[in-house]
Structure formats: structure tokens, C-alpha cells
Amino acid sequence: MKHIFYPIVALIAVCAAMSGCRTSEANYSQAYERAMAGRDSAMAIDSTIYGRYRRDFTTQQVQLAGGRTADVIVQRVKLTDGMGVPPEYLRRYNVVVGRFKQIFNARSMRERLADSGFPRAMVLETAEPYYYVVINSFATADEAFAAMDSIAEGAIAMRPPLPYVLDATAARTPRR
């Protein structure tokens, strides 16, 4: 009798457990709404250390030739190791064409750019880290904005607010 009783009890317990744990459409919708609200909430990010680094930039206006002014983002960045670009290529003004959370994506875009005629493409990173793909680096804002304006429409896949000029005044090269 024991040989039959224990398997039947185990089968009933498994069936009860499986039928009681089904996800309903209402549960899924509720979880999705909570996740979206958390993602879109500035408080969710700002309360973390990552929020501090994301806020660790300013926007400044620079005077360009011809009396024109333009906005630049000023942020502390460093040249990412292993990108094949010497540290002396990093200048103050950088034309950013990609932003990524994962180094793999930034490295992949940088390699595609280098193969497509941008040999000085590089990856800069913040302390978070957050990775910026730069097509070139320039000593003056005029040179950077001229390069940014010359990027052919559709030549590089970008979503707004890209491209923009990053002022790496506080730039650091990696420690060795």
C-alpha cells in the first residue's frame, strides 16, 4: 500500500503547486507598469551612486568663429584601455556619435568606424562606467563642430541627442 500511497501524494502535490502558480495577464501588466515607472523615475536613478555620475556633467556654451555659439557637454572621462588609439590623440573637444552601457557595444561601433574611414575613432568612459564612442578629438571647438556638421546624413546610425561635442577638459588617461 505504501508503494502506491506516496507516489499518489507526490503527484497530487506537484499538480496543486503547478496549477496555483500561473501568471495571469493582470499580474504581468502590473509588474510591467511597476518596472516602467521605476525605469522612468528620476528618483530611482538619482538615489544610487550611478545617478551621481550621470549628473556629473554640465552644459556650457562656447563661442565659435563668426559669432556663433554652441552647446558642449563637459564631463570627466578617460580614454578606455585596449582600443588601439594612443593617449595623445585625446584632445579637449570630442565628437560623440555613440553612447553605451556595455564596453562590447562601444568597442564594436569603434571598430566599424575605424574600418569606415575614421581611424582616430576612440572610446571614452566615465567613472560609472558609461562609454562614449568618439569619431575624432580636436583642440578647438570650431574644429569639432565643423567635423560634427560634416558627418553625412545617415553615414553613421545615431539617435538624438547624437551627435554632440563633449568637452573633456577634465580628461584623464588610464592609469598604468
| Helix ranges (DSSP H) in the chain | 2-20, 25-40, 42-46, 49-54, 103-115, 141-150
Cis peptide preceding 161, ω within 30 of 0: yes
Task: Please tell me what DSSP assigns to residue 36.
Answer: H
Q: Model confidence over 134-156: pLDDT tens digits?
A: 999 999 999 999 999 888 676 78
Q: State the Cα angle at 65 between 163 and 169, rounded to 5°.
A: 55
> What mean pLDDT value characterizes the chain?
80
Q: Are 140 and 69 in contact (CB under 8 A)?
A: no
Query: Using CA atoms in the order 46, 134, 121, 151, what is the torsion angle rounded to 10 degrees?
Result: 150
User: In terms of C-beta density within 10 A (0-12 exposed, 13-18 middle, 19 or more buried), how is residue 108 classed?
Assistant: middle
pLDDT higher than 50, residue 174: no
Reported as a single tens digit per residue, the pLDDT across 13-30 is: 766 666 655 666 777 777
Residue ranges per structural domain of the chain: 2-40, 58-167
Asked whether the beta carbons of 72 and 141 are under 8 A apart, the reply is yes
